[in-house]
Amino acid sequence: MFNSSYKGRKVLVTGHTGFKGAWLSLWLHDLEARVSGLALPAPTQPSFHELLTDGVFEMEIVCDIRDFQGVRKAVEDVAPEIIFHLAAQPIVRRSYTDPLETFMTNALGAAHLLESVRQIRLSCPVVIVTSDKCYENKEWQYAYRESDPLGGHDVYSMSKAATELVAKSWNQSFFAPDAGLGRVVTARAGNVIGGGDYAVDRIVPDCVRALMAGQPIGVRNPDSVRPWQHVLECLSGYLWLGAQVFDNSDGRLDLSTFNFGPEASARQPVRRLVEEILATWPGSWRNMSDVHAPHEAVLLTLAIEKANAILGWRPVWTFAEAVQKTISWYRERHVNCNQDMMGFSRGQIKAYADEARRQQLLWAK
């Protein structure tokens, strides 16, 4: 898969203890990459990261992305051949209580990483992962394209827009003009779901906690529409983008910024997501809307035509399949008490890749 681009290569994943970072690290390990991680300890207990056994990582470096000297030393020690930057403060509501932490972690953290690579003069590509919320959201049906204006009503969204600007400016000022450096690209994903996410104030973990406790699910914004996608969808996009950067030394492809989102049918209101969850794990939900709650976007969707046209990438699983795979993971761990959840997770990666191969996607050949 991915043109065997990662086999034997040293890969650094920042934020490897987080939900997406841990899944990415596992997949990279199975692609025979030499994976190292840079992050703070896992942000939740339980976590997906705790399931990863010895041997997945060559090095795990505990470091705050806001600590420039620590980041620089870690990058120098690993000497990666490619970096996937996922370290972030990822929760919108938390940005209202910790705005400076959010901005410094997301925007300044990306600058610390890129400046470290520049000073050390590593010729490695850097894939910066941001968010669909980086766009100036006008609350319309139009799906946002990579060329649309950046913005952000809340500090979280603004910090992701700022991260995009950091990546673009470092690339244009330092990386692109210097043949001795790699290239910087950014990836924007939709609302990601999947097993192993235990964050507070995210709808799927909130649902799982309520169902495990035998309580109704409290839903804050039942009518808000989001582009729901399984974690493996966006990760396949990140991995394929990174592989294409390796193969694009002649500059034939326009590799800069890409949206990785679901098909239009997966742009569903929160209430529809919850109903789909309850179809797999029976329970109930109640409307917890609060007109005085902090602002969160009501309507947000991504256009993915660029990723399809340039990379040949498109989603694999339907909305219903993504939800079913997600909830079956939690039930396997917490109801069936499977002691080999890393093996179960690998099974989901294989099932996803097999379906992508059946659909003849380029990255899965």
Q: Is residue 194 part of a domain?
A: yes
73: Cβ contacts below 8 Å, ≥ 6 apart: none
The percent of residues in the chain predicted with pLDDT above 90, rounded, is 85
Question: How many domains, the chain?
Answer: 1
Mean pLDDT within 42-65: 96
Answer yes or no: are the C-beta atoms of 117 and 82 closer than 8 Å. no
**What confidence score (pLDDT) does residue 299 get?**
75
Specify whether the CB–CB gap between 266 and 149 falls below 8 A: no
pLDDT of residue 316 exceeding 90, the answer is: yes
Rounded-to-integer distance, Cα 361 and Cα 352, Å: 11
Sequence letter at residue 204: V
CATH of the domain at 48: 3.40.50.720
Q: What is the pTM of this model?
A: 0.95
114: which 2 tokens?
Answer: 């890129």
Please spell the DSSP secondary structure of 23-59, one letter per residue.
HHHHHHHHTT-EEEEEESSPSSSS-SGGGPPTTSEEE
Which tokens go with 228? 């729901």
Residue 300: pLDDT band (50, 70, 90) is confident
- CA nearest to 260, candidates 331, 185, 209, 324: 185
Within a domain: 251: yes
pLDDT in tens, 205-248: 999 999 999 999 999 889 888 889 999 999 999 999 999 998 77
Which residue in the block uniquely carries the two structure tokens 């929760």?
A: 91
| Predicted local confidence at residue 293, as pLDDT | 64
Averaged over 45-52, what is the pLDDT? 97
Instruction: Tell me: pLDDT of 294 over 80.
Output: no
Helix (H, G, I), strand (E, B) or coil at 102: helix
pLDDT computed for residue 271 by the predictor: 95
Q: Is residue 2 part of a domain?
A: no
Separation CA 93–CA 41 (nearest Å): 21
- DSSP letter, residue 66: T
Average pLDDT, the chain: 94
State pLDDT tens for residues 54-84: 899 999 999 999 999 999 999 999 999 999 9
Encoding tokens for residue 4? 């065997």
Question: What is the average per-residue pLDDT within 307-334?
Answer: 97
Q: Does some domain include residue 38? A: yes
Give dist(CA 357, CA 190) in Å, integer: 23
**197 is a domain residue:** yes
Report yes or no: 219 and 271 within 8 Å, Cβ to Cβ: yes
The span from the CA of 301 to the CA of 133, in Å, is 9
Range of the domain at 299: 7-360
The Cα–Cα gap between 113 and 68 comes to 8
Model confidence pLDDT, tens digit, residues 174-211: 999 999 999 999 999 978 999 999 998 899 999 999 99
Q: Evaluate if residue 295 carries a pLDDT over 60.
A: no
365 domain residue, yes or no: no
The 10 Å CB-count burial string (b at 16+, else e) for 285-320 is: beeeeeeeeeebbebbbbbbebbeeebebbbbbebe
Residue 1 in any domain: the answer is: no
Torsion, CA 125, CA 22, CA 264, CA 288, rounded to 10: -130
Give whole-number Cα distances, 228 to 106, 321, 351, in Å.
22, 11, 19
The reply to whether 77 falls in a domain is yes
CA–CA gap between residue 242 and residue 186 (Å, rounded): 10
Residue 170: what residue type?
Answer: W
- Half-sphere exposure of residue 259, counting CA atoms within 13 Å on the CB side? 25
**The predicted structure's pLDDT at residue 355:** 98
